[in-house]
Amino acid sequence: MPEGDTVFRTAAQLHQALGGRVLTAADLRVPAYATARLTGRRVLEVCPRGKHLLIRLEGGLTLHTHLRMDGRWQVYRTGERWTGGPGHQIRAVLGNAERTAVGYRLPVVELLPTGAEADVVGHLGPDLLGPDWSAEEALRRLSTAPQRPTGEALLDQRNLAGIGNVYANELCFMAGVTPWTPFGELPAPERVLAKAQRLLYANRMRPGHPTTGELRQDRSHWVYGRAGRPCRRCGAAIRTAVQGVAPQQRVAFWCPGCQRGPGPE
């Protein structure tokens, strides 16, 4: 699932292509909105909210999309051939005289009144990359369930919005605890939240979610995606296991040498 920095960057690209311009093409390829007529409306702004994208249109409408695991938006010059995937994967098309944005494999596409955006994003915690970011509020929400495993707590968008599986695993490593460590036992949790915000902010306009300070893909992470490979700090083999309950299960990565705490049951 894309991290919050990926969604932030996608929103910036969409806003650059569409913001302030009148739609000359609009096609929502989902049954509920297949007949929606959006051409002639100006795109006011494209806003990220955690992992959600809100495309606000003239006339009080918002197009809400979510990328989930493998959805994505791709921007083309208008008239350019679309190469992001087969036609049956396209869920939304928004275009003007200069640029066309195509949404592939979008699992969530819905049109709603702008005044009703809270219906789809109002449950989210403070956004790590948003103007509403509050480490104090995020910590308050996280602390209401002190026995919850830290990896799961960080991934819960109701606590704080924007952390995906890459950052959840990397933050646990940097804190020196396993992802199964109860959040209430996390040493200096305020430092973990500060690190999370710094990482997402630093990576908001670059790909790959690097956390080690190195941008090379093979050296950009401490534990994520490195199962069986030696830890960069102690040399122990990185371990992996499934964490959480379906459908919210994620693969956890940790170093048994550097991270203390309980392991998978």
Q: Is 188 helix (H, G, I), strand (E, B) or coil?
A: coil
3 is catalytic: yes
Give the length of the chain. Answer: 265
User: For position 1, what pLDDT does the model report?
Assistant: 59
Does residue 135 register a pLDDT over 80? Answer: yes
Neighbours of 186 (CB within 10 A): 23
The share of the chain scoring above pLDDT 70, in percent, equals 99
Distance of CA 241 to the CA centre of its chain: 22
Please report, rounded to a whole number, the percentage of residues in the chain having pLDDT higher than 90.
Answer: 94
Question: What confidence score (pLDDT) does residue 217 get?
Answer: 85
> Which of the residues 41, 141, 232, 250 is marked catalytic?
250
Mean pLDDT of the chain: 95
pLDDT on residue 2: 78
Exposure string of 25-37, with b = 16+ CB inside 10 Å and e = fewer, is ebbbbeeebeeee
DSSP 159: T
Condensed to tens digits (0 to 9), the pLDDT of residues 206-262 reads 999 999 999 888 899 999 999 999 999 999 999 999 998 767 789 999 999 999 999
Instruction: For 78-87, write each residue's pLDDT tens digit.
Output: 999 999 999 9
For residue 181, the model assigns a pLDDT of 97
Our answer to whether residue 239 is catalytic in this structure is no
Do 122 and 156 form a contact (C-beta atoms < 8 A)? no
More confident position, 25 or 2: 25
135-254: same fold as 4-121? no
- Give the integer Cα–Cα distance in Å for 102 and 92: 6
Distance, in Å, from the CA atom of 188 to the CA atom of 51, rounded to the nearest integer, reads 26
Tokens of 55: 């495309």
Residue of 9, 49, 51, 204 with catalytic role: 51
CATH of domain 4-121: 3.20.190.10
Looking at domain 135-254, which of 2.120.10.30, 1.10.8.50, 3.40.720.10, 1.10.10.10 is its CATH number? Answer: 1.10.8.50
For tokens 């994505």, name the residue: 72
* Phi and psi angles of residue 232, each rounded to the nearest 5 degrees, phi first: -70, -20
Average pLDDT of the segment spanning 1-26 = 95
Of 3, 48, 210, 239, the active-site residue reads 3
- pLDDT per residue over 64-75, tens digit each? 999 988 899 999
How does pLDDT run across 42-57, given as a tens digit for each residue?
A: 999 999 999 999 999 9
Taking the C-alpha atoms of residue 170 and residue 226, their distance in angstroms, rounded to an integer, is 11
- Check 2, 126, 189, 210 and give the catalytic one: 2
Provide CB contacts within 8 A for 27, sequence distance 6+.
Answer: 92, 93
Domains of the chain by residue range: 4-121, 135-254
pLDDT of residue 43: 98
Please tell me the distance from the alpha carbon of residue 19 to that of residue 84, in angstroms, as a whole number. 22
* Pair 161, 8: CB distance under 8 Å: no
Burial group, residue 208, by CB count within 10 angstroms (0-12, 13-18, 19+) = middle
195 is catalytic: no
182 catalytic, yes or no?
Answer: no
Amino acid 27 reads D
Show the 3-state SS of 84-118.
CCCHHHEEEEEECCCEEEEEECCCEEEEEEHHHCH
pLDDT at 244: 83
